[in-house]
Structures are given as C-alpha cells and as structure tokens.
Amino acid sequence: MSDRPHVRVITAAYPSATYPARGRYIQRLHEGLARDFRTEVLAPKVSPSDPISESHDGISVTRFDYGSDGRPPKQAKLGAFGVAAFLRSAHRSARTLWSATSGGAVLAHWVVPSGWIGMRIARRLGVPLVLYAHGSDLTRFGRGALIRPFTRKILRSAAVTLCASEELSRLARSFARRDVPTRVVPVGVGPEFGPVARVERSAGPWRFLFVGDLVASKGAARVAEAFEVLRASSDLVPPGLECTVIGEGPYRGRLERVDGVRCLGVLDEAQVAAEMREADALLLPSVREGTPIVVQEAITSQLPVIATDVGGISRLFDDRSGWTRIDDDEPLDRVLVKWMSAGFDGQRTRVESMMRNETESLSRRATVDAMRSVLNEVCR
C-alpha cells in the first residue's frame, strides 16, 4: 500500500483516444502531482471505443457511460433527463470504485456537475472535499434557479474551493451565501507556451486565431459573421486576410464555408502554441467565460488579444496591456477593421505591451505547487 495520500479525482473532462485534447490540462496537472499523491480519476466515457479503465503515468482512470452518443458532455445537449442519467451513472461508478476509505481527499473538477458526486462520496468516506471551479461551472451551469440550491450545498460542503480567477472566487462566495474558504489558483499554462521573437512585418496578410469550442457562447457565430462581412468588403480589408480556427462544434461547417478561414479541429498544446507563434492576434468574442486558459496561453506567448470583457479576462492583464476589448453591441468586423487600421506600427506597440504582463503566476508549475500545498493541508 502506498504511503502517499489517496486523492480521488472526479472530472467532467479527461483525455481519451477519441478526444485526446479534451481536458488535457487536467491530466497534466495531476501528472505533476502523481509523485506526491496516489491518484485515481473518474471521468465520462465519451466514445464507445474508450476503455472503461486504463492507467497512464501512474494515474488510474475509470470511465462511466452516460449515453453520450459520442459527444462530450458540453456538446451532448443532455437535457434534464440526460443530466440525471449522467449523475446517476457517475455516482454509481464512484461508489463502486471507492467503496472503502483510506484517508486522503476527494477532488472534483468543476463544481457542477462533478462537485455533486464529490460531495456525496466525500461524505460517505469521511474525507475532505476539494472543489476546483474552472469557469462555466459557476458562470453558466451552476447559476440557474433550479440548480443554484445544489450549487450552494456543494460549495458549503467543501474544505476549500480552488478558483481559476478572482471573479470565480467572488461567485463561489456569492452562491454559497457565506464566506466559504476559496483560493485563487489559475489553471496553469504549459511549457509549450512562452515568449517568441516575432518577426516584424511591414506588409502581408493579417493572421487571426480562434481557439475554443465552436459554439455560440464562445462567439463562434460572431467570428463567422465577421469574416463573412470582411470577405465581402474588399475595399475595407487588406488582401489575404486569414483566420485559423482550432476546435470542434456545431459552427464548424459555417466557418469552413468562409473564404480565408482555416479550420484545424482540436489540436494538442504544442500545435496550439505553434499557431500562436504565427498569429497576429487571438480572437475570443465570448458571451461568458471564467478565466479562459487560451487567453493565459496568449499572454504567455505575448500574442495580442481581442476579446469581450467577460468573466476574469480583464484581470489577467496588467493595465490591460495588449488587450483590445470587444463591446457587446459592437459588430466584430468593425472592431477588426479598426484594429487593422493601426497598421504594423500599431502591432509592434501591442506586442511590446504584451511583454509587460506578468506570467510566472500563470505557469502550470505554479498551479501544481498551489494544488500540492492545498492537498497536503487537507490530507493531514
């Protein structure tokens, strides 16, 4: 029996052969903790070909079937009955997997839905619960009138809630209606991302980049509409305008039909980092966010950002250096025309501004260190 504390991880996303990039950062965090904690992961079984159990780098992974139809939870449109089936299946698997206590703790990534399962398992085993709020769990899924009482109960049951941003920490305390213990712990950017020596240009096409699920809440429709307008307005746009899109979702078909838009699907971190090195700006016209990891990756890569002021985005920037805000009622194509009108001299200024942003606290190493400290504290 290992003398390392036993950490039972419940997560709504984890990589598999079918979706190797889905929840990859969760995997990377726990790989960084594996030497200090005996880690077991419970995650959704997205594809019929995904194995029920497997082990990687000392971490055992068990998957539960929830009738996904081959789609991840966020894309499956489960509905009330589907969510209930998801929770029942996850809870049944957790009870089977962890039937006896051996100390340690339960760690649930995403307060909703994982936190509900984590709360019940932690109570049954008599061990502390640690929650990790990543964004959509509190900004979207946990705030509805019917769900909010459950969110409150989950948050109140935790020994501590790790929050990817100060905004999420504020939401957690607000939803709990009491001063529950929280700690701000950014998700952490991998070593693939970092400052690059960008080649200064005086001509050539502008190259934009979008990374995320191709859904309305991430602004995928807004990106498609903007580039449809721009491609039809050759008098306003320099020739060769490009937009690279990384991700999957229902808007991929529309985006692929726009001239100059290149859809690459889901890529791993090294591939995303390579695209960031070639881009002039990251686009993120989201309706709602927590503290998006892709913006943290852009900041670490010194890539200027064009994004809406939602969630914790503004707090990631020192004096908003390098960030161009998209107003809710402003057409994205107009924002981009104005952005490009500053020319390459303006781009040089934006890149120099990005260099002023502090990045050490955004590193994955800092996140792993913070998680290790919290887990050691609650597992005493």
Q: What's the predicted TM-score (pTM) here?
A: 0.86
CATH of domain 207-361: 3.40.50.2000
User: If pLDDT is split at 50, 70 and 90, which confidence band does 49 have?
Assistant: confident
Tell me the pLDDT tens digit for each residue of 173-225: 999 999 999 999 999 999 999 887 776 776 778 999 999 989 998 999 999 99
- The pLDDT of residue 133: 95
Percentage of residues of the chain with pLDDT beyond 70 = 93
Tell me the pLDDT tens digit for each residue of 89-133: 999 999 999 988 789 999 999 999 999 999 999 999 999 999 999
CATH 3.40.50.2000 at 6-187+363-378, yes or no: yes
Closest CA to 171 of 187, 158, 182: 182
- The pLDDT of residue 82: 67
Can you tell me the mean pLDDT for 224-230?
A: 94
* Residue 67, both tokens: 């009738």
Burial classification of residue 87, based on how many CB atoms lie within 10 Å of its CB (0-12 exposed, 13-18 middle, 19 or more buried):
middle
- The pLDDT of residue 18: 80
pLDDT at residue 319 is higher than 70? no
Say which residues have a Cβ less than 8 Å from residue 102's Cβ, sequence separation at least 6.
1, 6
Let me know if the fold of 6-187+363-378 is the same as that of 207-361.
yes
pLDDT at residue 265 is higher than 60? yes
Give the start-to-end residue ranges of the domains of the chain.
6-187+363-378, 207-361
Which tops the pLDDT comparison, 136 or 52? 52
User: If pLDDT is split at 50, 70 and 90, which confidence band does 165 have?
Assistant: confident
Place of tokens 């640690």: 130
